[in-house]
């Protein structure tokens, strides 16, 4: 009975937790509810993923209105994979938030943080699970509006400006998306993604369809921070509260990539997007620009959190590069990197939050000699940094490996070389942390800095361990991504 | 000319869309930027509603007396979009109020200048 409604509960439970938290107000209760809701969502996503592996596709008719008239929740290999990533990060960030939020926000704002956190999680999960194009927009706005609030909660006044800029650009992005969906609705008369795909196959690439493709591409590129539409991202990540940054960096851009994949390969179909239009060429060009420029800019940042934010722009470039290759290996690399980069950046931003809490900031001047004062945290950052570079034995290596395979398969040997070469820039910026933490003389007062609080450290290390684990055991990530890639290239929704 | 007469709602839509985007880019005042954003979003409401309307069409009432219906779905979608638009505008204005408290200005160039001085001290 309950299992039957799991696709709805996946979204409804975090969504319902938010108003409940606002009513109860008590910080401890608010936190417990947020943890309960996110852990439930994680459990639900695991059950759904197991079910999808068994039966293929789960279709849930919201309110018993059969699709395509009603809103359909649809879980397939790709969305099940994304649900697991988003809810896993949510279930880890929620327990992490207790100490971090207590230190960074005034007490009267704690319950608001947890309410908005639950809304953001519900929005991201909803974007992933829904099978209705307009419903994606609604959930996108739920997630985005709560992200703007999460960012604006940052202590620095620049957080307000970052939130405002993200609000403008994010809304332009979402509005472009909805213009695209509107044009598709005018052409096909349906909003159900699977139904839309069938009807579009009969229409072909007419002018409104191409315009819709362009609007959706630009709109989602803003959301996923594809170069040169990434300008909102560095400040938003740098000034948001640590727990919020960990959630955003690990999930927000990834879910937008998922929606882009959904539209490219399910709705428009590889035939139109890849073979008749120069979309792959444009994506590959922009991805290379993103990887090279953002990596170089990251290298010169004075603040470690900002450095990681620029590195996120570069890593999104690797993901879109995989999409641009549009082959089985390329798409596998893209989907695997969605997951691997999610856990790597989640781990890094969580650990950095611990450093910010103890050292008062993550400016490189403050990181001097921190390897002695916070050995466990610094070891975690270094290990996750190795995964960011893509050193063999870490999760990051797996995604780079498939990316190189995809590039070689497409005959772009220079592209494979570029992936390896740009990883060297990542070596340089991770080295800056290692140099500051381990090889520099401690700053005055550094000896008094203690290790990060144990609960924060524990959940951060779960993700660090995951970065190593998924470097050896790829049965979940690569197999899941392969199934998703086969699904996308098969054309069938 | 005929194309303009039969599609004039689209021309209005595009005009509003471009005007809204232009305001957001050209104006440095944070409130004016939000007004531009609002105009931009409003153009999308028109994009959805206009094609759903038939001249002489009524609400879809099942009755012998009415034969021509307007499509109700775009109206429902845009109701949702209007709610989203209001929420966005309200949040945007709330953030601008906080920015004014923190910086004492809502002019983009003054705020950026204030932060450059602030950043050096850190």
User: In the numeric block, which tokens belong to residue A55?
Assistant: 């039966």
| Phi-psi domain of A189 (left: phi exceeds 0; alpha: psi -120 through 50; beta: other) | left
pLDDT at B19 exceeding the cut of 90: yes
Mean pLDDT of chain A: 88
DSSP-assigned letters across all residues of A122-137: HHHHHHHHB-BHHHHH
Min Cα separation B15/chain A (Å): 14
pLDDT at A316 exceeding the cut of 50: yes
Angle among Cα A311, A316, A321 to the nearest 5 degrees reads 125
pLDDT at B121 exceeding the cut of 80: no
Asked, for residue A184, whether it belongs to a domain, the answer is no
Interface test with B, best of A175, A229, A356 (most B CBs within 10 A): A175
Is residue A297 a contact partner of residue A235, using CB atoms and an 8 Å limit? no
Angle among Cα A261, A266, A268 to the nearest 5 degrees reads 95
pLDDT score for B31 = 93
- Interface subset of A 246-285, CB within 8 angstroms of B: none
Alpha-carbon distance A189 to A154, whole Å?
A: 43
Cross-chain residue pair B37–A171, CB shorter than 8 Å: yes
Prediction ipTM score: 0.91
pLDDT at A477 exceeding the cut of 90: no
pLDDT score for A61 = 86
pLDDT score for A360 = 80
Rg (alpha carbons) of chain B, rounded to whole number: 21
Min Cα separation B66/chain A (Å): 22
Taking residues A126-146, what's their average pLDDT?
A: 93
Cross-chain residue pair B44–A160, CB shorter than 8 Å: no
Position A329 confidence tier, pLDDT thresholds 50, 70, 90: confident
Min Cα separation A246/chain B (Å): 22
Alpha-carbon distance A193 to A400, whole Å?
A: 31
Q: Tens of pLDDT along A262-310?
A: 999 888 887 787 778 888 889 999 999 999 999 999 988 888 899 999 9
Taking residues A160-180, what's their average pLDDT?
A: 93
Closest Cα partner for A303 from A433, A111, A481, A450?
A: A433
Chain CA centroid to CA A462, Å? 18
Using CB atoms, which residue from B17, B88, B103 is nearest to A171?
Answer: B88
Taking residues A457-462, what's their average pLDDT?
A: 90
Could you tell me which residue, A367 or A338, shows the higher pLDDT?
Answer: A338
Taking residues A213-221, what's their average pLDDT?
A: 92
pLDDT score for B118 = 54
Position A106 confidence tier, pLDDT thresholds 50, 70, 90: confident
Alpha-carbon distance A126 to A75, whole Å?
A: 11
Cross-chain residue pair B87–A138, CB shorter than 8 Å: no
Query: In this complex, is the C-beta atom of A130 within 8 Å of any C-beta atom belonging to chain B?
Result: no
Position A491 confidence tier, pLDDT thresholds 50, 70, 90: very low
Alpha-carbon distance A128 to A315, whole Å?
A: 21
Which helix (DSSP H) or strand (DSSP E) does residue A75 occupy?
Answer: strand A72-75
Cross-chain residue pair B80–A160, CB shorter than 8 Å: no
Is residue A373 a contact partner of residue A388, using CB atoms and an 8 Å limit? no
The domain ranges of chain B are 2-121
| Burial annotation A370-381 (CB, 10 A radius, 16+ → b, else e) | bbebbeebbbbb
Asked, for residue A127, whether it belongs to a domain, the answer is no
Query: In this complex, is the C-beta atom of A179 within 8 Å of any C-beta atom belonging to chain B?
Result: yes
pLDDT at B52 exceeding the cut of 80: no
Min Cα separation A53/chain B (Å): 34
Could you tell me which residue, A126 or B62, shows the higher pLDDT?
Answer: A126
DSSP-assigned letters across all residues of A421-487: HHHHHHHHHHHHHHIIIIISPPPTTGGGPPPPPHHHHHHHHHHHHHHHHHHH--TTHHHHHHHHHHH
Based on the structure, what is the number of domains in chain A?
1
The percentage of chain A sitting over the pLDDT mark of 70, rounded to a whole number, equals: 99
Alpha-carbon distance A222 to A214, whole Å?
A: 12
The percentage of chain A sitting over the pLDDT mark of 90, rounded to a whole number, equals: 40
User: Going by C-beta distance under 8 Å and a sequence separation of 6 or more, which residues neighbour residue A207?
Assistant: none
DSSP A192: B
Which helix (DSSP H) or strand (DSSP E) does residue A72 occupy?
Answer: strand A72-75
User: Going by C-beta distance under 8 Å and a sequence separation of 6 or more, which residues neighbour residue B77?
Assistant: A134, A191, B48
Q: Tens of pLDDT along A47-68?
A: 998 888 888 888 888 888 888 8
Alpha-carbon distance A352 to A370, whole Å?
A: 12
Cross-chain residue pair B30–A164, CB shorter than 8 Å: yes
Which structural domain, as residue segments, surrounds residue A323? 278-493
Cross-chain residue pair B47–A179, CB shorter than 8 Å: yes
Give contacts of B113 with chain A, Cβ < 8 Å: none
Could you tell me which residue, A359 or A289, shows the higher pLDDT?
Answer: A289
- What pairs with residue A74 in β-bridges? A59
Sign of CA dihedral A488, A411, A340, A238: negative
CATH number 1.10.1040.10 given to B2-121: no
Min Cα separation B51/chain A (Å): 8
DSSP-assigned letters across all residues of A209-248: HHHHHHHHHHHHHHHHT-TTS-TTHHHHHHHS-HHHHHHI
Asked, for residue A206, whether it belongs to a domain, the answer is no
pLDDT at A331 exceeding the cut of 60: yes
Taking residues A474-484, what's their average pLDDT?
A: 84
Position B117 confidence tier, pLDDT thresholds 50, 70, 90: low
pLDDT at B122 exceeding the cut of 50: no
What are phi and psi for residue A242, nearest 5 degrees?
-55, -45
Position A446 confidence tier, pLDDT thresholds 50, 70, 90: low
User: Going by C-beta distance under 8 Å and a sequence separation of 6 or more, which residues neighbour residue B67?
Assistant: none
Which helix (DSSP H) or strand (DSSP E) does residue A77 occupy?
Answer: helix A77-104
Query: In this complex, is the C-beta atom of A138 within 8 Å of any C-beta atom belonging to chain B?
Result: yes
User: In the numeric block, which tokens belong to residue A200?
Assistant: 């579009």
pLDDT score for A449 = 79
pLDDT score for A493 = 38
Asked, for residue A7, whether it belongs to a domain, the answer is no
């Amino acid at each position: 009975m309950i299992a039957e409604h799991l696709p709805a509960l996946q979204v409804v439970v975090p969504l319902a937790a938010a108003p409940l938290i606002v009513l109860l107000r008590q910080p401890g209760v608010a936190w417990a509810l947020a943890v309960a809701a996110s852990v439930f969502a994680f459990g639900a996503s695991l059950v759904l993923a197991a079910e999808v592996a068994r039966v293929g596709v789960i279709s849930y008719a919201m309110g018993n209105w059969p699709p395509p008239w009603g809103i359909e929740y649809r879980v397939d290999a790709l969305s099940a994979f994304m649900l697991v990533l988003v809810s896993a990060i949510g279930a880890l960030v929620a327990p992490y938030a207790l100490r971090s939020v207590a230190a960074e926000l005034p007490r009267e704002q704690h319950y608001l943080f947890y309410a908005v956190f639950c809304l953001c999680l519900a929005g991201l999960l909803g974007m992933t699970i829904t099978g209705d194009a307009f419903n994606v927009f609604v959930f996108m706005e739920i997630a985005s509006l709560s992200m703007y609030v999460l960012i604006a909660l940052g202590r620095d006044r620049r957080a307000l400006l970052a939130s405002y800029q993200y609000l403008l650009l994010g809304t332009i992005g979402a509005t472009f998306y909805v213009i695209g969906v509107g044009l598709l609705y005018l052409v096909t008369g349906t909003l159900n993604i699977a139904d839309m795909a069938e009807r579009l196959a009969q229409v072909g690439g007419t002018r409104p369809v191409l315009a819709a493709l362009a609007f959706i591409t630009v709109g989602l590129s803003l959301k996923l921070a594809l170069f040169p539409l990434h300008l909102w991202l560095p400040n938003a990540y740098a000034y948001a509260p640590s727990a919020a940054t960990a959630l955003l960096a690990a999930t927000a851009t990834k879910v937008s990539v998922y929606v882009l994949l959904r539209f490219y390969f399910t709705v428009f179909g590889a035939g139109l997007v890849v073979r008749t239009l120069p979309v792959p060429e444009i994506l590959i060009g922009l991805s290379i620009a993103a990887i090279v420029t953002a990596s170089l800019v990251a290298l010169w940042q004075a603040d470690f959190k900002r450095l990681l934010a620029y590195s996120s722009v570069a890593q999104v470039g690797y993901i879109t590069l995989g999409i641009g290759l549009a082959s089985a290996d390329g798409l596998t690399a893209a989907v695997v990197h969605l997951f691997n980069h999610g856990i790597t950046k989640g781990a890094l931003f969580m650990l950095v939050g611990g450093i910010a809490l103890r050292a008062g900031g993550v400016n490189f001047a403050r990181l001097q000699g921190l390897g002695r004062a916070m050995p466990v945290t610094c070891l975690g950052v270094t290990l996750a940094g190795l995964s960011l570079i893509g050193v063999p034995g870490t999760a990051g290596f797996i995604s780079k490996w498939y990316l190189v395979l995809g590039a070689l398969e497409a005959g772009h040997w220079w592209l494979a070389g570029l992936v390896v070469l740009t990883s060297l820039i990542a070596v340089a910026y991770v080295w800056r942390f290692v140099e500051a933490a381990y090889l520099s003389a401690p700053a005055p007062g550094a000896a008094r800095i203690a290790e990060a609080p144990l609960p924060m450290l524990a959940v951060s290390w779960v993700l660090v361990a995951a970065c190593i684990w998924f470097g050896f055991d790829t049965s979940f990530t690569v197999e899941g991504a392969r199934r998703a890639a086969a699904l996308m290239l098969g054309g069938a929704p | 000319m005929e194309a303009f007469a039969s599609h004039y709602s689209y021309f209005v839509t595009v005009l509003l869309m471009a005007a809204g985007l232009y305001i957001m880019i050209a104006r440095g005042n944070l409130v004016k930027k939000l007004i531009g954003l609002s105009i931009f979003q409003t153009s999308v409401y028109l994009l959805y509603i206009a094609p759903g309307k038939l001249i002489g069409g009524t609400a879809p009432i099942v009755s012998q007396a009415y034969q021509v219906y307007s499509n109700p779905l775009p109206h429902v979608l845009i109701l949702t979009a209007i709610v989203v638009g209001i929420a966005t505008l309200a949040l945007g204005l709330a953030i601008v109020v906080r920015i004014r408290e923190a910086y004492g200005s809502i002019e983009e160039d003054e705020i950026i200048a204030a932060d450059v001085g602030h950043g050096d001290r850190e």
